[in-house]
Chains A and B, each alone.
Chain A
Amino acid sequence: MDTLRNIVKRTYAGMCAVEAALSAVCLITTVVVIFSLAVFRSFDIPIHWALDTALLVFTWGVFLGADVAFREDKLVNVDFVYTRLPGKLQTVVSLFLYLLMAVFLIALLYHGIDLSISTKHRSFQGIPHLSFTWVTISMPICSFLMLISLSIKVYRTLVTRS
């Protein structure tokens, strides 16, 4: 059992590293593409697809990065009231918020898949044969990754309390 647990843990840690790395690659690609676009345009060479590519890559960078931030508790929040609550109530509040967040993420996942199916024909402007679904699918995937992060948080809250 222990080894299985270790394998799961290590696989998950690997996934997290890949996620952060992908997000970083997206950010640096955005910089490079936007920079080249500006430079080439100054030399009278317009690149029509550059901005769209930058935006496509950027959307992925944002949503992957958001899950990294969520996992590491780096999303901005306000704990002014929360930290002043008694310990038991804190657990109840946390679990209540986690429940709401889970429902919200599942809604985004479900409707995100629905949207991704219907945007299949919508062309990504300037780039022939590239569907807008490549952009829209980032949202359900991010929501799915966040659901995993969320379940770990729920697990930790329950374990530390009991």
Chain B
Amino acid sequence: MELVTIVFLVLLFLGMPVGFAVGIAGATFFLQHPELPLITMVQLPISQTQNVTLLAVPLFIFAGTLMNASGITRRMVKLAMLLAGHMRGGMAQVSVVLSTLMGGCSGSTNADAAMEARILGPEMERQGYPKAFTAVVIGFTALITSTIPPGIGMILYGTVGQVSIGRLFAAGLTSGLILMGTLMIGVAIMSRIRHFPRGREQRATIRDILGSLKETIWALIFPFVLLGSLRIGIFTPAEVGGLACVYAIVIGFFVYKDLTVKSLITTLLESVRDIGGIMYMIAMSAIFGYGIPIDKVPARISALITGFTGSTFLTMAIVIGILILFGMFMDGAIVIILVTPILLPLVEAVGVNPVLFGIITTVVVTMGVLTPPFGIAMYVVNGILGSKLEDYLRESIPFIFVILVTVFIYLVFPKIILAAPNLLYG
């Protein structure tokens, strides 16, 4: 597997699409093992697409795009403004709240960051926020979206690690709310120090907020509907994904009336391309993963770490370090698929709950989209807002600190994260 990994990194750095890099690197394992039939290389990606739980991934991506096209985003922005606009650093707080609200519709940090950069960016610039700060606040708060259900990362983790997706979703909801809290505190402190303005003079009236809630309630209850239908056990994750798509179409056509047949077709064509791109990568990663059990990689890595330390805390620190490193260099979906089977048995052995580890993995790995060298969301927000990378890096330091503190809280007080899944599932 050493050669496979090196080939993968070289191809990745040279700019080959990840799906090809991971497939070609995996193919070198077959060249090293001539006794393996080459048809296996074709079987592995196909079997990956025949996995019922993974079917949930494209369905939720499609549902997210549909929600956006159904006119929910506009209404959510209004609600976030009413809820947080009056605070110090109001627009920055709006970004925190908006990401939390949108978390229930979308499973993607990249999409959320791009949307907010377009919608909130110009207004924040008008109010005098430094461009790089705007980019950082929009980017890092979009992390909340990845843990609130539905989240693509959670589904992948649950599939590969054989952890209940219902439990992960329940825990993800709590973790998203905690992340919202710590980020709001962080933004409040920064706003005080740097004298950022309020977004508006007064608090919104309860009547205004209720009016806005009435408009957005269909999207706001969505994560709870998801959790409920998984919990009652009537539906599988893939089925819930299918329901989510139909739900978004119904709301778009009949409640908000913003969706038209034409925009539905546009959304469909757009989603097909996104899904094709992501699923090709996920499918091809199966070729890469084939050699992992054969070369006994999990056992070797765990022997390496346990030979070094027996402490739960130190082990977790090393594991989180590995996740951050991988997250920085690879796409989050790939990291979760490749690394979960290696690290999960290891952290379970030192007594860490697999649901908790799923939350930590998702947050930490997703942070990689916001850091160099390969942070997609980072490039997207800087591109849209026109901020400089050096400034972005400087501004991101306090936010990275907030995220790591939050992960530390998850780890030290696992009961907080596990309360919701335990309550729902016993």
Contact = CB atoms under 8 A, between A and B. Distances in A.
Given A104-B20, A138-B46, A55 B55 contact: yes
B4 to A, nearest CB: 14
Contact of A27 (B20, B246, B272): B272
B210 interface: no
Interface string A1-34: 0000000000000000000100110011011011
Contact of B14 (A31, A67, A93, A104): A93
A68 B273 CA distance: 6
Nearest to B21: A77
27 contacts: A27-B58, A27-B62, A27-B272, A33-B242, A34-B55, A35-B243, A38-B242, A41-B234, A42-B234, A55-B50, A55-B52, A58-B49, A62-B280, A63-B276, A66-B19, A68-B272, A68-B273, A74-B273, A74-B277, A75-B17, A76-B19, A78-B374, A97-B15, A100-B24, A111-B39, A136-B43, A139-B45
A79 B280 contact: no
A73 B243 CA distance: 31
Bin the interface of chain A by size: 35 or more
Nearest to B374: A78
Interface string A89-113: 0000100110011001001100110
A24 to B, nearest CB: 5
A88 to B, nearest CB: 15
A104 B24 contact: yes
A34 B59 contact: yes
B280 A69 contact: yes
Determine chain A's interface SS by DSSP, over half rule.
Answer: helix
Contacts of A31: 59, 62, 242, 245-246
A81 interface: yes
Contact of B281 (A24, A51, A76, A114): A76
Interface residues of B, number: 56
Nearest to A51: B52
A77 B376 CA distance: 9
B49 A59 contact: yes
A97 to B, nearest CB: 5
Which interface residue of B39, B235, B376 has the most chain A CB atoms within 10 A?
Answer: B39
B238 interface: yes
Nearest to A118: B39
B39 A82 contact: no
B67 to A, nearest CB: 14
B276 A68 contact: yes
A154 interface: no
A78 B273 contact: no
Interface string A127-148: 0000000011011100000000
B173 to A, nearest CB: 22
B112 interface: no
Contact of A78 (B15, B41, B243): B15
Interface of A: 20, 23-24, 27-28, 30-31, 33-35, 37-38, 41-42, 51, 54-55, 58-59, 61-70, 72, 74-82, 93, 96-97, 100-101, 104, 107-108, 111-112, 114-115, 118, 135-136, 138-140
A83 B13 CA distance: 11
B18 interface: yes
A41 to B, nearest CB: 8
B273 A65 contact: yes
Contacts of B374: 78, 80
B274 A104 contact: no
B50 A66 contact: no
A19 to B, nearest CB: 10
Contacts, number: 182
Among A24, A38, A100, the most chain B Cβ lie within 10 Å of the Cβ of: A38
A38 B235 contact: yes
A55 B271 CA distance: 18
Contacts of A96: 14
B42 A111 contact: yes
Interface string B8-28: 000111111111100110010
B331 A104 contact: no
A81 B14 contact: yes
A76 B45 contact: no
A82 B14 contact: yes
Contacts of B242: 30-31, 33-35, 37-38
Nearest to A71: B273
B241 interface: yes
A97 B27 contact: no
A75 B19 contact: yes
Nearest to B246: A35
Contact of B275 (A65, A76, A93, A107): A65
B279 interface: yes
B395 interface: no
Interface string B303-329: 000000000000000000000000000
Given A24-B272, A38-B235, A111-B39, A77 B13 contact: no
Contacts of B272: 20, 23-24, 27, 61, 64-65, 68
Interface string B252-277: 00000000000001001101111111
